[in-house]
Amino acid sequence: MLFYYFKSKQELFNYLVEYGLEFVLKDYLSQLDTNQTDFIERYRLAAVSKLKAYVKNPHVFNFFGNLYMNNLEGVPPELAERVSKLQAEGFAKLFEDIDTSLFRKDIPSEQIIKLIQWSMDGYTNELLASLKDHNLTEVDFDPYWEDFFEFLQVLRRIYYENNH
């Protein structure tokens, strides 16, 4: 029945990539608030948006995770270019117009941004791994959000000037 709609596995695969691109753009990237210049706060808002999109459709994120793990193998060049462009857009939205005056002065701001990014990526990966075998529609996320907000406060104490 599936091949009634798609003539080949490649056509189905391409459709899934297209669908994933549209979903990520609509339900995640378009939700990012670039008016927020505080990097940690922007990352917090991005994480909330990403988790909402993930809960709505975890298969898209798992599919794209597999695509990246396999270096976009099997993805036609024009779709691979769109995937790369979407990823670049996402990073640009996350990193543009950051107020680096909030950062400590004794560490270069580029390093602070990388360290915060790595911390957030690690935190996200650990959270997703801990939720892997759970039905996400039945998970009470409140304790996870409390832990996440505490984690962000630790990052603020480490990387921001004392008055921020």
- Is residue 132 in a domain? yes
The pair phi, psi for residue 103, each rounded to 5°, is -75, 155
- Residue 130 inside a domain? The answer is yes
Residue 1 located in a structural domain = no
Low-confidence spans in the chain with pLDDT less than 50: none
- φ, ψ at 87 (rounded to 5°): -65, -45
Domain that residue 59 falls in: 8-159
Residues 36-72 pLDDT 10s: 999 999 988 988 898 889 889 988 988 887 787 778 8
The three-state secondary structure class of 59 is: helix
Q: Answer yes or no: are the C-beta atoms of 112 and 104 closer than 8 Å.
A: yes
pLDDT reported for residue 141 = 79
Q: What is the dihedral of CA 135, 136, 137, 140, to 10 degrees?
A: 110
pTM of the model: 0.76
The answer to whether residue 56 is domain-embedded is yes
* Residue 17 domain-assigned (yes or no): yes
Whole-number pLDDT of residue 120: 87
In eight-state DSSP terms, residue 103 is B
Number of structural domains the chain divides into: 1
Q: Is residue 164 part of a domain?
A: no
In a domain, 3, yes or no: no
Q: Could you tell me if residue 122 is inside a domain?
A: yes
Residue 107: enclosing H or E segment and its boundaries? none
pLDDT at 157: 95
Number of Cβ within 10 Å of residue 44's Cβ equals 19
pLDDT of amino acid 33 = 86
